[in-house]
Amino acid sequence: MCYFIGLRSARSTDPRQEKGPVTQFPALPRAGEDCGKERTAEQERERMEPWKMILSEIAARDEYRSLTRIAVAGDSVAACGEVVDLSSNDYLCLSRDQRLVEAAIAAARRFGVGSTGSRLMSGNLDIHRELEEAIAQWKGTEAALLMGSGYLANLGVISALSTTVDQVFLDRLCHASIVDGVRLGGRRFRRFRHNDPGHLEELLQGAKDPSRVLVVVEGVYSMDGDVVPLNELLALRARFGFILLIDDAHGIGVMGREGRGVVAVNRACEVDVHIGTFGKALGCYGAFIACSSSLREFLVNVARPFIFSTAPAPPLLGAALRALEIVRSESGIRSRLLSTAAWFRQRLRQDLGVSTPSRSHIVPVILGENALALEAADRLRAAGFHVKAIRPPTVPRGEARLRISLTTASSREQLARLLRVLQGVVGSC
């Protein structure tokens, strides 16, 4: 059971609709105005807080965001009546699994609740090594390196690798952390059309030395739910010899044999860098980089988010180890989720005429305008479903959507009711 405290619609937090000093943004003095005249206290606060103008601009685009306080995580939430949560990344519902809770407690008793420092200082504990070895064996790579989060993993490895290549090519829908990693590395980058190996091939043909190119894609795309065309991508890598990184944050635990993600273990050597997280299907927190031994040593020496961050906490690592055991041994939980997702996508097409790019447990309903997505999310909430409206910059402009995130707790009865509600929502948009 999950409780939302003070649940409010995204539209109700728009500063243009709220009253009070917190969400009123007076204009800053413009160039040429007499700045010598006495300012009111409110004007002085505004001068010292120029970000309020940016907030006003965000609100005007229907892109204003606010936090919803959650008391307990789970598969449903209660606020003005219980509603079903279809926004969670806890795909296998492991975050509150008592086996993980007990493993976290055991690790805390053995190692403490904190790691006391960075891995290069005092924070390199036995449990870090144990989890890294388990991940490398699971993913079929020589080595693995733990990171504090998926964002930090991408920031660290991509910024480090960017210093070794001439160019970086990204899928157009790559996550913000990937883009930020390239920018931190100071390397030029180009985007190729989403899931379009032909366009990537054109860019590679134009590169002076394709072997000095880093190509970055995702396994399962977090907002579209579609999957990388892996065979075509690996064929291009064999032909051009570029460095390939796949961020499979949303595929790990759900896709592939033993939940290894979109890359099968017998093809792991064809991918130079595998990124995965513990904070989604594995129900914990943190991330990993699976790679060669030499690349791991390079990252230990060069990746700034690794060098200058406190090491992941032992209780989280203990839980992650147990989650990994569960995912590898209990294939039934994955197959049930993927079967439910396939059924739901088919019903969307048949009952609502909604075409979705998804091939996974993440199912978007693209509505276009921000206001339409916000209104649809409000209507779903009123009908008992917590589904988030996703807007720019998370998705491209004009592609605002409802992101329906299915988990093992999502029953077909619940989803059939959701389809009935969606029929009215989509029909009126």
Rg (CA), the chain: 23
Q: Give yes or no: 9 in active site.
A: no
Evaluate if residue 403 carries a pLDDT over 90: yes
Which residue among 90, 218, 224, 226 is the active-site one?
218
Which residue among 280, 361, 386, 388 is the active-site one?
280
* Residue 4 pLDDT: 39
Separation of alpha carbons 384 and 379, rounded Å = 9
Q: Give yes or no: 154 in active site.
A: no
Same domain, 79 and 135: no
Residue 287 contacts residue 146 (beta carbons within 8 Å): yes
Which residue among 128, 250, 361, 386 is the active-site one?
250
* Residue 83 pLDDT: 85
Evaluate if residue 87 carries a pLDDT over 60: yes
Range of the domain at 109: 98-329
Q: How confident is the model at residue 350 (pLDDT cuts 50, 70, 90)?
A: very high
Residue bearing the bigger pLDDT, 84 or 28: 84
Average pLDDT over residues 89-117: 97
Upstream peptide bond of 393 is cis (omega within 30 degrees of 0): yes
Which residue among 9, 56, 76, 89 is the active-site one?
89
Which residue among 95, 177, 222, 410 is the active-site one?
222
Which residue among 52, 128, 139, 175 is the active-site one?
175
CATH code, domain with 362:
3.90.1150.10
Q: Report the percent of the chain where pLDDT is more than 70.
A: 86
For the chain, the domain total comes to 2
Same domain, 158 and 225: yes
Given 286, 307, 329, which residue is the final one in a domain?
Answer: 329
CA angle in degrees (0–180, nearest 5) for 39-44-47: 120
Same domain, 73 and 118: no
**Picking from 23-27, 94-98, 365-369, which range would have the lowest pLDDT averaged per residue?**
23-27
Q: Give yes or no: 231 in active site.
A: no
Q: Report the percent of the chain where pLDDT is more than 90.
A: 78
Same domain, 294 and 389: no
Phi, psi at residue 346, to the nearest 5°?
-65, -40
Given 329, 346, 361, which residue is the final one in a domain?
Answer: 329
Q: How confident is the model at residue 76 (pLDDT cuts 50, 70, 90)?
A: low
Evaluate if residue 22 carries a pLDDT over 50: no
Same domain, 262 and 364: no
Separation of alpha carbons 246 and 248, rounded Å = 6
Average pLDDT over residues 353-376: 94
Which residue among 75, 247, 248, 399 is the active-site one?
247
Q: Give yes or no: 175 in active site.
A: yes
Evaluate if residue 90 carries a pLDDT over 80: yes
Same domain, 115 and 184: yes
Q: How confident is the model at residue 69 (pLDDT cuts 50, 70, 90)?
A: low
Same domain, 292 and 168: yes
Same domain, 292 and 339: no
Given 329, 357, 383, which residue is the final one in a domain?
Answer: 329
Same domain, 130 and 64: no
* Residue 315 pLDDT: 98
Phi, psi at residue 299, to the nearest 5°?
-65, -40
Same domain, 172 and 277: yes
Q: Judging by beta carbons within 10 Å of its beta carbon (0-12, 13-18, 19+), is residue 273 exposed, middle or buried? A: buried
Average pLDDT over residues 369-389: 93
Residue 346 tokens read as 């088919």
Same domain, 160 and 277: yes
Average pLDDT over residues 88-94: 96
The sheet carrying 385-386 orders its strands as 69-70, 2-5, 76-78, 82-85, 385-386
Separation of alpha carbons 144 and 153, rounded Å = 12
Same domain, 233 and 266: yes
Evaluate if residue 262 carries a pLDDT over 80: yes
CATH code, domain with 197:
3.40.640.10
Q: How confident is the model at residue 203 (pLDDT cuts 50, 70, 90)?
A: very high
The Cα-based distances of 181 to 71, 175, 176, 347 in angstroms read 33, 10, 9, 39
Going by DSSP bridges, is the β-strand pair 273-277/243-247 parallel, antiparallel, or unpaired? Answer: parallel
Contacts of residue 395, Cβ cutoff 8 Å, sequence gap at least 6: 223, 401
Q: Give yes or no: 247 in active site.
A: yes
Residue bearing the bigger pLDDT, 36 or 149: 149
pLDDT tens column, 287-330: 999 999 999 999 999 999 999 999 999 999 999 999 999 999 99
Is the pTM for the entire model greater than 0.75?
Answer: yes
Residue 247 contacts residue 236 (beta carbons within 8 Å): no
HSE-up of residue 78 (Cα within 13 Å, Cβ side):
5
